[in-house]
Amino acid sequence: MEHPLARSEGVARWLSWGRRGTAGAAIPMSLAFEGVTQRFGEVTALEDVTLAIAPGEIVALLGQSGCGKTTLLRLAAGVERPSAGKVLLEGQDVSAPDAFIEPEKRGVGLVFQDYALFPHLNVLENVRFGLRGYDDASAQATALRAIARVGLADLAEAYPHMLSGGEQQRVALARAVAPRPGVLLMDEPFSNLDRRLRDVVRDETAALLQETGATSIIVTHDPEDAMRIADRIVLMRSGRIVQIGTSEELYRKPVSLFAARFFCDFTEINGIAERGAVETPVGRFAAPGLADGQEAVVCVRPHAIRLVPKGFCLPARVVMRRFLGEVDHLLLAVGGLEKPLVGRVSLPGSIREGEDIGIDIQSDEVLVFASGDT
């Protein structure tokens, strides 16, 4: 069956990556950072970062602009030297001043945000460039295989300026994986892509990473990128690691309001903790660990809201309703709340804006944090 996206002009080519399983496997390496601090003059880009990545693991470094993600990647690649701490590849300190290993000797593949293709080299030559140490025939065969794997065999002779952004991304990926690096480092590899195509490219890239088996780090500021592609997510803030875990752990058990906000657009309701709970106009929610009288923020996930027959639960008025297909995006006014409650619920078609409905809030989809716990 035709993929629904394939109907849009020019999109079909995006979907035609090469056959899965043909990329060739790497020998994955372990990668670790121990107490890494990085200063640039007055700026501390990283502060005491410790992180161990197992061979073959795919890790996403997630955080807002300027939190130090790229700096950590550059330290792994060897294009920066840490101000303090160690970078270990296969347990060996590759960052020590007297035993520093240069980037080209680390067995690390790189995909930069801007793809960094050589403009005067065609696709094949760009991919072959990474294959130093191969004889001519095997470099040619290896490069062609990598190009075919990302679905660009037809464009092997094309120059970067003739390619779309997405095709350039695929060339950069082919160039990085062709030498079968033990570690693959990718800086915002999807950020320049059209939203409609991101899903396809992300999934194909994930398949390719799994196929090569390389230990991979992907830098991103987009939680969805991280959740879709990574085995573990490392959430960063101001040069420090905030939380490390699977996407489910970060989503379900965020360590702070800051971490929680990264993964969900909550309605936040202020309240005061009393006897282990916070009373709000939409219900009473457990607040374990919060002292009596402590100011709290109750975070209600949009899908925590359920529609129930009027009169049984909480009365709410539909202030806004937007049909999104599988669900409706709702703003619901509830007595006592300053701001409307944001909901993602499938409403019967007959319910209109301005109408009153009954809702219930599933307490296991509500998180409570101490105020200021960001």
Binding interface with ligand ATP (CB under 6 A): 40, 43, 45, 63, 65-71, 221
CA 318/CA 337 separation, integer angstroms: 14
Q: Which DSSP string do the residues of 50-97 spell out, in sequence order?
A: EEEE-TT-EEEEE-STTSSHHHHHHHHHTSS--SEEEEEETTEE---G
Q: Are 69 and 226 in contact (CB under 8 A)?
A: no
Q: Residues in the chain, how many?
A: 374
- The distance of closest approach from Cβ of residue 62 to ligand ATP in the complex, given in angstroms and rounded to an integer, is 9
Output 71 or 212, the one with its CB closest to ligand ATP. Answer: 71
Q: For strand 183-187 and strand 108-111, is the pairing parallel, antiparallel, or unpaired?
A: parallel
- The distance of closest approach from Cβ of residue 180 to ligand ATP in the complex, given in angstroms and rounded to an integer, is 27
* SS3 label, residue 368: strand
Which amino acid does the sequence have at 370? Answer: A
Which amino acid does the sequence have at 333? Answer: A
- The distance of closest approach from Cβ of residue 217 to ligand ATP in the complex, given in angstroms and rounded to an integer, is 12
CA 149/CA 20 separation, integer angstroms: 7
Output 186 or 297, the one with its CB closest to ligand ATP. Answer: 186
Output 72 or 277, the one with its CB closest to ligand ATP. Answer: 72
- Structure tokens that stand for 357 in this block: 């409905």
Q: How is the beta sheet containing 277-280 ordered, strand by strand?
A: 283-286, 277-280, 267-274, 295-300, 366-370
- Structure tokens that stand for 75 in this block: 């330290």
- The distance of closest approach from Cβ of residue 74 to ligand ATP in the complex, given in angstroms and rounded to an integer, is 7
Output 43 or 291, the one with its CB closest to ligand ATP. Answer: 43
Is 145 buried (19+), middle (13-18) or exposed (0-12) by CB count in 10 A?
Answer: middle
Query: Which ranges of the chain does DSSP label H, i.e. alpha helix?
Result: 12-15, 69-77, 123-129, 136-149, 165-177, 195-212, 223-229, 247-252, 257-263
- The distance of closest approach from Cβ of residue 71 to ligand ATP in the complex, given in angstroms and rounded to an integer, is 3
- The distance of closest approach from Cβ of residue 305 to ligand ATP in the complex, given in angstroms and rounded to an integer, is 33
- The distance of closest approach from Cβ of residue 142 to ligand ATP in the complex, given in angstroms and rounded to an integer, is 31
Residue position matching structure tokens 């570690």: 183
Output 69 or 128, the one with its CB closest to ligand ATP. Answer: 69
Output 46 or 214, the one with its CB closest to ligand ATP. Answer: 46
Q: Are 15 and 5 in contact (CB under 8 A)?
A: yes
Is 101 buried (19+), middle (13-18) or exposed (0-12) by CB count in 10 A?
Answer: middle
- The distance of closest approach from Cβ of residue 263 to ligand ATP in the complex, given in angstroms and rounded to an integer, is 18
- The distance of closest approach from Cβ of residue 229 to ligand ATP in the complex, given in angstroms and rounded to an integer, is 17
Output 69 or 175, the one with its CB closest to ligand ATP. Answer: 69
Q: How is the beta sheet containing 341-345 ordered, strand by strand?
A: 305-308, 356-361, 314-323, 328-333, 341-345
Output 75 or 273, the one with its CB closest to ligand ATP. Answer: 75
Output 67 or 176, the one with its CB closest to ligand ATP. Answer: 67
